[in-house]
């Protein structure tokens, strides 16, 4: 079992930045693919970013490419999402997720992730 806990959300003005963190329990974290998803008000959950266990591969949704950066520190069981140039449309609850099967072309599919955090709210004001 893996438990995930996100933090770092909050209220920020458009153009601002936030860094989300996700701390995982479990000894096998370093072998999991990790992803960030979000769900805006009245919207379905959508993929944001993913990273392989070695940090050698990352993948981003088109809507955040060039503005967001995913990273991880396996020694700290932590994955991060640095969000820059935030827009009001980035307002959502952000979830981190763990995929025991690793990282691959499926990284943007939420059904490949077995473990989810409770989410952290990000609100971007215009």
92-110 confidence digits (pLDDT tens): 999 999 998 888 888 999 9
* Torsion sign, CA atoms 88, 89, 92, 98: negative
Q: How far is CA 118 from the centre of its chain?
A: 12
pLDDT one digit per residue (tens) for the chain, 126 residues: 889 999 999 999 999 999 999 999 977 788 899 999 999 999 999 999 999 988 789 999 999 999 999 999 999 999 999 999 999 999 999 999 999 888 888 899 999 999 999 999 999 999
The DSSP secondary structure of 52-103, one letter per residue, reads -TTS--EEE-TTTTTTEEEEEEGGGTEEEEEE-S--GGG-EEEEEEEETT--
* Torsion sign, CA atoms 44, 47, 48, 54: positive
C-alpha span between 59 and 49 (Å, rounded)? 6
CB distance 70 to 79 below 8 Å: yes
């Amino acid at each position: 079992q893996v438990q995930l806990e996100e933090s770092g959300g909050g209220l920020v003005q458009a153009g601002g930045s936030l860094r989300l963190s996700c701390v995982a329990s479990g000894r096998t974290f370093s072998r999991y693919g990790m992803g960030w998803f979000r769900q805006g008000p009245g919207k379905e959950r959508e993929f944001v970013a993913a990273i392989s266990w070695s940090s050698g591969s990352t993948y981003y949704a088109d809507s955040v490419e060039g503005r967001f950066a995913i990273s991880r520190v396996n020694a700290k069981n932590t994955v991060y999402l640095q969000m820059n140039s935030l827009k009001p449309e980035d307002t959502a609850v952000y979830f981190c997720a763990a995929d025991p099967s690793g990282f691959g072309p499926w990284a943007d599919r939420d059904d490949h992730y077995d473990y989810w955090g409770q989410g952290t709210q990000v609100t971007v004001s215009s």
